Amino acid sequence: MMTPRFVNEVRRTRLLPGAMTTGAPPRDTATPATRAPAQAASTPLRACRYLVIMGYNVGCLLIYKRPRVQRVRLRHYKYPTHTTTPSPRVTQLVQNIRHKHNTHNDEKPYHFDAQGIDIKATVTVRASTVEAWISRVWTNFLRDAERKLVGLDTEFSNPVFGKRQKDLPKEQKQRAAVLQLCVANECLVYHIVHARRIPAMLRMFIADKDIVFCGAGISQDQEMLGYYGLNIASSFDLQERVEIPKSICSKPTPSLIDLSNYLLGTKLTKDGESERLRRSGWGAFPLTLERIRYAAVDARLSFEVARRHFRSASYDRPGDRLNSS
């Protein structure tokens, strides 16, 4: 006869099909009172997965297989690798998405090249970054320069159509949305319309009479900056002061691109895309890469035209094709 302990253990377990040769396993008729001691006694049997139980009077082997505990494994998703080169449109889309999630990373400036003119653009809305940029260009260029030149340009917010500017409240008036400053290849693209505060160092920098701010149509830029209390003390209008022979440019007032092509030897043109960028959309945050490039190039060209006009050698850098020498 089988011992009660062995019988209870066999009844408690789930036997594999075909494990017993004497027919179907007996029904579990154990009561809670008898099942508890059996479970307590079989606790050591749970230590291993496969248990072999020998029946003394059955003459066969009963194999008990403990059910496997299913574990959930977390696997890292691997992005597919593409062997083909993506189209320019897809590349631009990816850059815009990365730029949107890495908005105005002041530690990593943008680098552009416009027909051999290198540009390092710092894009920000932070007052501390503006102050750091002013300190850097003052130390590296302006402090020892015989003529302190800064290229300046602004991009405006969208106007309110159907109403005159003087009839609008102050918060609805058209104003500068982006302020661009440039010294040598260092350009600052300050999204001023979204700035929490205007740094005092910028006010002092703009109001310094020893620094000449040069730009195309700079009187309008000065008017748009007046909204923020920024007053340019010394300005130089490139369109009015720099002359181009009529045989080269027959316009009454040459544009910044005309001045650049004549003095710097560039071959820039204004297309429909540039006009679209210039007219609207500068209040949107964050600035897209094409808008950052457009703003930085304008500021760099303003500085270089003034530098070539004044024949200043204080801003020459190794490897710069626009050096005076």
Q: What is the pLDDT of residues 106-120, one digit of tens each?
A: 457 999 988 889 999
- Does residue 164 share a domain with residue 36? no
Q: 174 with 156: CB under 8 angstroms?
A: yes
What pLDDT, on the 0 to 100 scale, is given for residue 276?
A: 76
Supply 153's token pair: 């340009």
Q: What is the pLDDT of residues 43-74, one digit of tens each?
A: 444 444 444 444 444 444 555 555 666 665 55
Task: Yes or no: say if 178 and 195 are a contact pair by the CB < 8 Å rule.
Answer: no
- Please check whether residue 74 lies inside any domain of the structure: no
Q: Which of 46, 65, 84 is the last residue of a domain?
A: 65
pLDDT at residue 305 is higher than 70: yes
Q: Let me know whether 306 and 166 are in one domain.
A: yes
Single-letter amino acid code for the residue at 150: V
Residues 145 and 238 in one domain: yes
Predicted confidence at residue 309, as pLDDT, reads: 93
Judged against a pLDDT cut of 70, whether residue 94 lies above it is answered with no
Query: Would you mind telling me the total number of residues written for the chain in this entry?
Result: 325
Residues 99 and 56 in one domain: no
In eight-state DSSP terms, residue 163 is S
10 falls within a domain: yes
Pair (44, 126) in one structural domain? no
Residues 159 and 41 grouped into a single domain = no
Section 80-89 average pLDDT: 58
The percentage of the chain sitting over the pLDDT mark of 70, rounded to a whole number, equals: 66
Under 8 Å between Cβ of 235 and 222? yes
- Cβ atoms within 10 A of the Cβ of 187, count? 29
pLDDT tens-digit readout, 192-247: 999 999 999 999 999 999 999 999 999 999 999 999 999 999 999 999 999 899 88
- Which CATH number do you get for residue 231? 3.30.420.10
Q: Is 187 part of a structural domain of the chain?
A: yes
Residues 17 and 156 in one domain: no
The number of domains in the chain is 2
Least confident residue range of 25-29, 129-133, 234-238, 282-286: 25-29
Q: Is 60 inside any structural domain?
A: yes
pLDDT at 5: 54
103 and 59 in a common domain: no
77 assigned to some structural domain: no
What is the pLDDT at residue 14?
Answer: 47
Same domain, 215 and 295: yes
With cut-offs at 50, 70 and 90, classify the pLDDT of residue 100. low
Alpha helices in the chain (DSSP H): 4-12, 32-41, 88-101, 127-137, 200-206, 218-225, 238-241, 256-263, 272-279, 289-310
DSSP class of 87: P
Q: Do 23 and 138 lie in a common domain?
A: no
Neighbouring residues of 323: CB distance < 8 A, sequence distance ≥ 6? 313, 316, 317
Q: Is the pLDDT of residue 77 over 50?
A: no
Examine the pLDDT at 287 and tell me if it is beyond 90: yes
Q: Is residue 24 part of a domain?
A: yes
Is the same domain home to 246 and 292? yes
Q: Which structural domain, as residue segments, surrounds residue 259?
A: 95-310
Q: Which of 65, 80, 115 is the last residue of a domain?
A: 65
Q: Confirm whether 70 is domain-assigned.
A: no
Task: Output the pTM of the full model.
Answer: 0.67
Same domain, 192 and 124: yes
Instruction: Say if 18 falls within a structural domain.
Output: yes
For residue 21, pLDDT beyond 70 = no
Which amino acid, residue 227?
Answer: Y
pLDDT of residue 195: 95
Q: Which of 101-105, 135-139, 171-175 has the lowest mean pLDDT?
A: 101-105
Percent of the chain with pLDDT over 90: 47
